[in-house]
Chain A
Amino acid sequence: MNRIALILTAAAYLLSFGCYMRFLNTGRELIGRLGTLFLALGLVAHYFALLERSRGLHTVPYHDLYGSMSLFGWLLALTYLGLELYHRQRSVGAFVLPFILVFFLAAHLAPADRLPQPDLRGAVFAFHVTLSILAYAAFALSFVLSLIFLGEERLLRKHELGNMVWRLPPLELLERMSQSSVLVGLVSIAIGTALGFVSVDRLMGQYWFYDPKYVVTLFVLLLYALYFRLARTATWRGARASKLCIFNFVVVVLSFTVVNLYLSHSHRYF
Chain B
Amino acid sequence: MEIVLVGLNHRTAPVEVREKVSFNEEQARRAADELRSRGILEETLVLSTCNRSEVYGVPPESSHECAPGLSSFLSQFHAVRPEMLSGSLYHHYDREAVRHLFRVSAGLDSMLLGEAEILGQVREAYRFAHEQGATGPVLNRMFQGALEVGKRVRTETDLGTRPMSVASAGVKLAERIFGKLEERSVLVLGAGAISEQVVSQLRVRGIANLFLMNRSCDRAEELARQYGGKVVGWGEWDTALRAPDVVVSSVAAEEPILGLEVVERAMAARKNRALFLMDLGMPRNIDASVAKLYNVYVYDMDDLSDIVQQNRQARESEIPRAESIVEAHVGKFLSWQASVELVSLVDELRARVQEERNAFVKARMESMAHLSEPDRLRMESLMDELLEKLLLEPAQKLRGEKELRRKIQNVEALRDLFLSKRDKP
Contacts and interface: CB of A to CB of B under 8 A. Distances in A.
B177 A156 contact: yes
A157 B297 contact: yes
Interface in B157-178: 158, 161-162, 172-173, 175-178
Interface string A19-34: 0000000111110000
A208 interface: no
Contact of B176 (A26, A29, A171): A171
B314 A170 contact: no
Contact of B162 (A29, A156, A166, A172): A166
A117 interface: no
A15 interface: no
Given A28-B156, A30-B156, A238-B294, A170 B273 contact: no
A161 B310 contact: yes
Contact of A26 (B158, B177, B306): B158
A237 B155 contact: no
B91 interface: no
Contacts of B272: 234-235, 237-238
Contacts of B295: 237-239
A257 interface: no
B176 A166 contact: yes
A110 interface: no
Nearest to B161: A27
Contacts of B297: 156-157
B127 interface: no
B274 interface: yes
B72 to A, nearest CB: 46
A30 B179 contact: no
B177 A161 contact: no
A166 to B, nearest CB: 7
B323 to A, nearest CB: 17
A27 B177 CA distance: 19
Contacts of A3: none
Interface in A220-263: 233-235, 237-240
Given A171-B274, A238-B274, A28 B176 contact: no
A29 B155 contact: yes
B158 A27 contact: yes
B162 A234 contact: no
A165 interface: yes
B42 interface: no
A173 B155 CA distance: 22
A170 B158 contact: no
B156 A171 contact: no
Interface residues of A, number: 26
Nearest to B304: A159
A252 to B, nearest CB: 27
A234 B273 contact: yes
A170 B297 CA distance: 14
Given A159-B299, A238-B274, A170 B156 contact: no
Nearest to B271: A234
Interface string B286-300: 000001001101010
A102 B200 CA distance: 48
Contacts of A234: 270-273
A165 B158 contact: no
A162 B113 CA distance: 20
Given A161-B310, A237-B272, A170 B179 contact: yes
A159 B303 contact: yes
B307 interface: yes
Contact of B274 (A29, A169, A237): A237
Contacts of A240: 294
B414 to A, nearest CB: 40
A235 B178 contact: no
A152 B158 CA distance: 20
A28 B274 contact: no
B178 A172 contact: yes
Contact of B177 (A28, A30, A171): A171
Interface in A63-80: none
Interface string A136-173: 00000000000000001000110101010110111111
B119 to A, nearest CB: 16
A64 B303 CA distance: 54
Given A166-B162, A237-B273, A172 B177 contact: yes
Contacts of A165: 176
A28 B155 contact: yes
Contacts of B175: 170
Interface in A99-126: none
A237 B175 CA distance: 17
Nearest to A89: B179
A159 B291 CA distance: 11
Nearest to A161: B307
A239 B295 CA distance: 8
Interface of A: 26-30, 152, 156-157, 159, 161, 163, 165-166, 168-173, 233-235, 237-240
23 contacts: A26-B156, A27-B161, A28-B156, A30-B155, A156-B176, A157-B291, A159-B299, A159-B303, A159-B306, A161-B307, A163-B314, A165-B176, A166-B161, A170-B175, A170-B178, A170-B179, A171-B176, A172-B179, A234-B270, A234-B273, A235-B272, A238-B272, A240-B294
Given A168-B176, A235-B272, 13 more contacts: A27-B161, A28-B156, A157-B297, A159-B303, A166-B162, A166-B176, A170-B175, A172-B274, A173-B179, A234-B270, A234-B271, A237-B274, A238-B295
Ordered nearest first, which 3 A-B pairs have the shortest CB separation? A234-B271, A170-B179, A234-B273
